[in-house]
Amino acid sequence: MRLLVLFLLLSFNCFSQQRPNIIYIMSDDHDADAISAYNKKFIRTPNIDRIAKEGVLFTRSFVSNSICGPVRATLLTGQFSHKNGMRDNRTRFDSSRITMPKLMQQGGYQTAIVGKWHLHSYPTGFDHWKILPGQGLYFEPRIISMKGDTSTYHGYATDIITEEATKWLDRRDTSKPFLLHVHHKAPHRYFFAPVKYIEQFHNKKIPEPATLYLDTAGHGTAWHLQTMSILHDMKLCSDLKVDPKYLMNIPELKPDSTDIVYYNAIFNRIPEPDRSSIKKNYAKRGELLQRLKPAGKELLKYKYQWYMQDYLATVASIDENIGRLLDYLDKNDLTKNTLVVYTSDQGMYLGENGWFDKRWMYDVSMQSPLFMRWPEHIKPGSVNTNMVQTIDYAPTILDAAGIEIPGFMQGLSLVPTITDKEKIIPRHNLYYHFYEYKADHTVLQHLGVRGERYKLIYFYPVNEWELYDLETDPQEQKNLINSPAHQEILKQMKLELLSLRNKYDDHEKAGILN
């Protein structure tokens, strides 16, 4: 009997040691182009790149509904928005649902989340959580703890989230493997970096995308209704930190009252002496506008530069903090047995089509960066070209932990492909459905299918279709819907879309494709 108990204890201990720890890091609106492992034109991100160098980089990772809350609900449930109920940022996530963290917890993992949550209801399935209310704040952020109380933390959000993550790691129960979610608020609008990075980036000349000055005339209704133009919709004061005092006497540039209120709210949170020093850095922008009074293309040129300088400076701080977290794993002998995932909740327009924000099914916003490092399981420096999607994250994490994937999850485990057991995953078409119209940036509802080569999008409120050849037109500028040479492809893609809607059980707006 004693021997049997000893054997059981030993085998349990052995099993628990074999199971990997998992750290899932997700930034907010961090586009792959702002990571040097993908694109060296804008910024160097040596620490994020380290995950790719020591693990795998995905070249075709996509979301299924390019907006914050819904992506987070898909991460938890492994389901599309029509199944998990979180179609837009206004919905409250039903926290009684069975989620991946709950299954990990039941399977013997210790679970925690720190940072952005944005699902309105409180987290469930976590042994420990500390979340930002809503979008959260960059400076002196408020944080809600498990007791339900909200306190203000001194410092900068990205640093604080990292500190909170390592503090929890320090005091976790080391007899269990852990799942830790580190969800950064950065680099979400209103992009704001610590002073040292503002100084580093505010004189940088950023290359312009080919479509920055694109005339959207000739494109569909959705393009005309959107309000995500850098020139028209990005605010000079709250977004680009121009002190309103410089603009009050320039009628064409005079800020509206909301912009001024936001500007003051943002700056008032920055403690001195940083506030004065940041204002001094940004004074240049106001002086330039006062002097040149730029308009049209000229104004867009400046706004783009300032947007990117601020966005990239905010990313630089994320990179520094990823470095801190990876160092912590090294120092605490956790690197070897920890699967580290880095991603963003979706891509972000960095001036393509003259836009900022996300939402669209176009590749810029449908794509997200994705890296995984898992020593002895993933070959360092691998590149994975499979089309993967947010629905795959929960099944992958469960599978890596040796926990059964429930039937309601709609994604696939990526463990076989990252460990080289199966190079190709059995999927060649991705389904997409975006719902949040008449809220921020007014992008019309649409759904569609992304294949290996072609993409079909249907803006159903206006009955307009778009078809793109991603091989010859990766920037998705030439709608082939009326091209005689593409009618056969169009027919196939429509059938594919119908079949995906059946496969994933999305019968809302049934009949709209007929």
- 350 contacts Ca ion (rule: CB under 5 A): no
Q: Which stretch binds Ca ion (CB under 5 A): 66-74, 171-179, 216-224, 252-260?
A: 66-74
- 29 contacts Ca ion (rule: CB under 5 A): yes
Q: Which stretch binds Ca ion (CB under 5 A): 152-160, 219-227, 337-345, 483-491?
A: 337-345
- 243 contacts Ca ion (rule: CB under 5 A): no
- 88 contacts Ca ion (rule: CB under 5 A): no
The β-bridge relationship of strands 454-459 and 464-469 is antiparallel
Q: Which stretch binds Ca ion (CB under 5 A): 329-337, 345-353, 388-396, 448-456?
A: 345-353
Enter the tokens of residue 169: 């790691």
Q: In angstroms, how far is CA 43 from the centroid of its own chain? A: 18
- 31 contacts Ca ion (rule: CB under 5 A): no
* Distance, CA of 98 to CA of 406 (rounded, Å): 10
Q: Which is nearer to Ca ion, 243 or 363 (CB)?
A: 363
Which are the contacts of 304, defined by CB distance < 8 A and separation ≥ 6? 206, 208, 212, 230, 351
Task: List helix spans (H) across 19-67.
Answer: 46-53
Q: Which residue is nearest to Ca ion (CB)?
A: 68
**Count of residues engaged in binding Ca ion, rule: CB under 5 A:** 4
Which are the contacts of 211, defined by CB distance < 8 A and separation ≥ 6? 351, 352, 353, 354, 475, 477
Enter the tokens of residue 141: 């952020």
**Minimum Å distance from CB 183 to Ca ion?**
10
- 363 contacts Ca ion (rule: CB under 5 A): no
**Minimum Å distance from CB 453 to Ca ion?**
28
- 345 contacts Ca ion (rule: CB under 5 A): yes
* Distance, CA of 361 to CA of 347 (rounded, Å): 10
- 357 contacts Ca ion (rule: CB under 5 A): no
Q: Which stretch binds Ca ion (CB under 5 A): 64-72, 102-110, 305-313, 328-336?
A: 64-72
- 409 contacts Ca ion (rule: CB under 5 A): no
Say if residue 497 is exposed, middle or buried (CB neighbours under 10 Å; 0-12, 13-18, 19+): buried
Q: Which is nearer to Ca ion, 68 or 299 (CB)?
A: 68
- 28 contacts Ca ion (rule: CB under 5 A): yes
Which residues face 62 on adjacent strands?
Answer: 367, 389
- 32 contacts Ca ion (rule: CB under 5 A): no
**Minimum Å distance from CB 28 to Ca ion?**
4
* Distance, CA of 404 to CA of 30 (rounded, Å): 31
Find the helix or strand (DSSP H, E) in which 298 lies.
helix 296-331
* Distance, CA of 35 to CA of 393 (rounded, Å): 21
- 259 contacts Ca ion (rule: CB under 5 A): no
Q: Which residues bind Ca ion (CB under 5 A)?
A: 28-29, 68, 345
